[in-house]
Amino acid sequence: MANNGDVVSEDVERGVAALCRHLGEEGSRLLRRCEPKGDELASFDFPLPPDYLGVSRTLRISFNNNFPTSGLVFKISPSAWLKWPHVMKDWLCLYGAGNAPVIGTAEQVVADKFARLTALLQLVLPAEAKGKRDAEFNREISTYWDQQIDQAYRTWQQLILLGLPSDAGPLYTVSDQRKRIGNVDERIWVGEDAKELFKHIAKISGASDSVKAPAKAAFFAPLLSIPGVELPKAENLIAWLAPHLQAADARSLTKWESDSENFPVRWILVRLPDTEPPLVKAFVLRSTAMKKNGHFNYGRRAGRTYGRSKTRSGPIVLQAANLHLITPTTLHSRDKNTDQTQLKQKQVVLIGAGTLGAMVATQLARTGITKMTVIDPDELEVANIGRHVLGADDLGRFKVYALKERIERDLPFVNVQAISNYLHLALKDKPTLLDEVDLVIITTADWWSEQYLWHLKANANWSLVHGWAEPHALVGHVLTAQTGQTGDGRQLFDVNGHFKHRFTDWPRNGVEPLPGCGASFIPGGPISITAIATMISDAAISTLTRNPTQPFWFTYVSNPERVTEAGGTYLAEPLPPNCGNLVIKRPWPEEVAQ
């Protein structure tokens, strides 16, 4: 019977029996039943052998009232926090990347938990090499440091580091003063280039990008080695870091600390060695003169105001701050399928910023393309926003400028050139517009522009991706032609620009009229259009990085039965059984001479 009056469940009884079997007869004799606490139903103490420090500790094993769903709870006393790797202040970190506790029977849970514990104990036995133990500490060092920070002085600010500095030195700091909805802590933008920092702030806020006198309230230092697990007091932080820095960097850090002592809040950003993507940890030096939950605003003239002040901020406490490092490497660190080095060098021109084109531009930017030009003469209308990446706030604006603003705001290292014109007029204004590009993508569904581009392709050094959706967007196509490939895509269309190998047929060619002279639209929902845009983007990335030896034709098909429901006729072969969506890839149709 537990102290809270709950009856020990059958699962707990089975778990205890499994525990005894796991420990064996000799180990079971060492178990000592304890008085349950809180939600514990059964608890035991088990003596552990002396660790590498010569300390004999006790393992408390607890079965809680949700066992086996809640797992088996371990606690070590005296605490091994900061003494053993994987032991946190209040819990044991037994499950690393890609691992999770077993959720199963009582016997499976006990066996899994003890297997993890055994691996931990092997690390802390006297015979284990110190280097291996230190390596385990270093992998979780940021967590150990955070747990030692005085939470009474919790910082409500988050740092966003724009770019990874190449060398140690002071950083400019500017507060993001936008009003935000929800649980958003105040953001501080940090960077080594004041001009680039304010340029980005202008993109996200609409404020002037003129640089007045930003404060250098932060310092960046790349560590050569890990200082250690236990944090020092705030006044000893620099002395603690110095032996793990280049000598010149340590001197620069000391000088900055003296020069910036009048700032009430400062940040020391250290890059941990041998981490990829880069891991940067932010330490906060905060004046005790500030309120515990207060903050300080670093405006555009903070450097001038506080740079002239002779008043010291007073005693300091040490804090940790969340830091977000924005670099091309970190932005794309979870994409292991794309060669970012290749994409960073590529230049892409997109003709069309409609529903398809805007989605493709956004996907390519998020994939790693950093230099693109978008050409489109149209403004955003109400009927666009139900399926466009742009929204109500952009109504009436040229799509290309709104898209440029959206992409560059979300992805600071992408540069978008916006041209609000037709392709032929843009080329008339700048005949060299396509000379240095690697890939041109057209998604306009405008036959005049499409055939003009295929005409240019015959004598061009760039590759071409031509994508479009059939009416209602239940079918979409992509034609690709690599540099040096002479196939002319115009031969695949009739004189009116209708694809000779279309999969669907519609009254009025699927065009829906609107009031006004020549006004019309081609219907299509956002879900299928997004899938077609993804197919176009994938074809574009393949064209840029894999150098295909022949032109390809891609087709996306979604639920052909919906074509009939929408009033059209499905012309192609049925999809395989139990297949609702399909992408087909094959060479161009045979009638086109290569």
CATH number of the CATH domain containing 362 = 3.40.50.720
176 lies in some domain: yes
Q: What is the pLDDT of residue 2?
A: 44
Q: Which of 326, 353, 370 is the last residue of a domain?
A: 326
Give tens-digit pLDDT for 299-343: 777 766 665 555 556 788 898 888 999 998 888 888 888 888 888
Return the closest-CA partner of residue 81 out of 181, 231, 222: 231
Same domain, 351 and 409: yes
Nearest to 18 by CA among 133, 127, 134, 110: 110
Are 475 and 469 in contact by the 8 Å Cβ rule? The answer is yes
Residue 100 lies in a domain: yes
- Residues 233, 252 within the same domain: yes
- 184-214 tens-digit pLDDT: 567 899 999 888 888 888 887 766 656 577 8
C-beta separation of 262 from 313 below 8 A: yes
Q: How much is the pTM?
A: 0.84
Number of domains in the chain: 3
Is the CB of residue 226 less than 8 Å from the CB of residue 199? no
- Based on the fold, state whether residues 374 and 508 are members of the same structural domain: yes
Alpha helices in 293-354 (DSSP H): 302-307, 328-331, 340-344
What residues make up the domain containing 487? Answer: 340-587
Same domain assignment for residues 191 and 283: yes
Q: Do residue 314 and residue 346 come from a single domain?
A: no
Same-domain status, 204 and 278: yes
Q: Give the end of a domain, one of 326, 349, 379.
A: 326
pLDDT of residue 310: 54
**Domain end call among 298, 326, 354:** 326
One domain, residues 209 and 160:
yes
Q: Do the domain assignments include residue 269?
A: yes
Residue 437 lies in a domain: yes
Helices of type H across 412-511: 423-429, 447-457
Is 3 among the domain residues?
Answer: no
Q: How far apart are CA 531 and CA 387, in angstroms?
A: 12
Sign of CA dihedral 236, 239, 243, 247: positive
Separation between Cα atoms, residue 470 and residue 197, nearest integer Å: 44
- Do 361 and 466 reside in the same domain of the chain? yes
Which two structure tokens, joined as six digits, stand for 245? 């820095």
CATH number, position 86 = 3.10.110
- Same domain as 355, residue 206: no
Specify whether 260 is located in the same domain as 318. Answer: yes
**Which tens digit of pLDDT belongs to each residue from 399-424?**
999 999 999 999 999 999 999 999 99
Q: Are 427 and 434 in contact (CB under 8 A)?
A: yes
Alpha carbon dihedral 463, 466, 467, 468, in 10-degree steps, equals 170
334 domain-assigned: no
Q: 316 in helix, strand or coil? A: strand
Claim to verify: residue 191 and residue 243 sit in the same structural domain: yes
Q: How far apart, in Å, are the Cα atoms of 277 and each of 75, 158, 325, 443?
A: 33, 19, 10, 35
What's the mean pLDDT when you consider all of the chain? 89
Q: Are residues 135 and 270 in the same domain?
A: no
What's the full length of the chain, in residues? 594
Q: How many helices (H) and strands (E) does the chain have?
A: 16, 24
Position 464 in a domain: yes
CB 332 within 8 A of CB 277: no
Q: Is residue 570 a part of any domain in this protein?
A: yes
**pLDDT by 10-residue block (mean), the chain, 594 residues:** 57 94 93 91 95 96 90 93 92 82 91 92 90 90 88 74 95 83 74 87 71 86 95 95 97 95 92 91 89 74 62 77 90 84 92 97 96 97 93 95 94 94 95 95 95 93 96 96 87 94 90 70 86 97 89 95 92 91 92 52
Q: What percent of the chain has pLDDT over 70?
A: 91
